[in-house]
């Protein structure tokens, strides 16, 4: 039940469509259930920082089996997971835009989107994921 490249490309296409609609040039990444890159696209005019952040969001979401938005609260100073963000040599992202991909309840990958505000990145990532869960 591994995610295929065809599925990953459909996920990216859905995210890119939504990103274009809200005018947010984004980089979107899909990782598989091993946390390894399956596909990544940088839309024209997306920022360079979004390359690494999108992939790290996808990795973080897969590796923690949660959205990165859910980590934001937990990793603040004084909160239970404070410090998680400095582990993994910089691969952990603790703000929204990373969302798990699930098939029949099973974690099979994750999507990460970066390029806009955190709210915009969440919109794009969720649109991307929706294409998969409707699969």
Q: Which of 52, 45, 38 is nearest to 128 (CA)?
A: 38
CB 112, CB 100: distance < 8 Å: no
| 10 near its own copies, judged by CB under 8 A | no
| 103 near its own copies, judged by CB under 8 A | no
Cα 71 to chain centroid distance, Å, stands at 13
Task: Indicate which single residue of 11, 14, 24, 75 sits in contact with its own copies (rule: CB under 8 A).
Answer: 75
Could you give the string, one character per residue 115-134, with x where binding to its own copies holds by CB under 8 A and - elsewhere?
--xx----------------
- The distance of closest approach from Cβ of residue 85 to its own copies in the complex, given in angstroms and rounded to an integer, is 5
Buried b (16+ CB within 10 A) or exposed e, 58-70: bbbbbbbebbbbe
Residues that bind its own copies (CB under 8 A): 2, 4-5, 8-9, 16, 32-44, 47-49, 51-53, 56, 60, 62-65, 72, 75-78, 80-95, 117-118
């Amino acid at each position: 039940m591994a995610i295929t490249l065809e599925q990953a490309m459909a996920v990216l296409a859905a995210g890119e469509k939504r990103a274009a609609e809200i005018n947010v040039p984004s980089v979107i990444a899909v990782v598989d259930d091993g946390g390894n890159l399956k596909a990544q696209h940088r839309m024209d005019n997306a920022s360079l920082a979004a390359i690494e952040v999108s992939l790290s969001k996808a990795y973080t979401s897969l590796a923690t089996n949660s959205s990165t938005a859910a980590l934001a609260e937990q990793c603040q100073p004084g909160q239970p997971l404070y410090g998680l963000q400095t582990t993994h040599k910089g691969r952990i992202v603790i703000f929204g835009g990373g969302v798990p991909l699930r098939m029949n309840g099973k974690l099979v990958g994750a999507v990460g989107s970066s390029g806009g505000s955190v709210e915009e990145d969440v919109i794009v990532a969720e649109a991307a994921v929706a294409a998969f869960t409707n699969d």
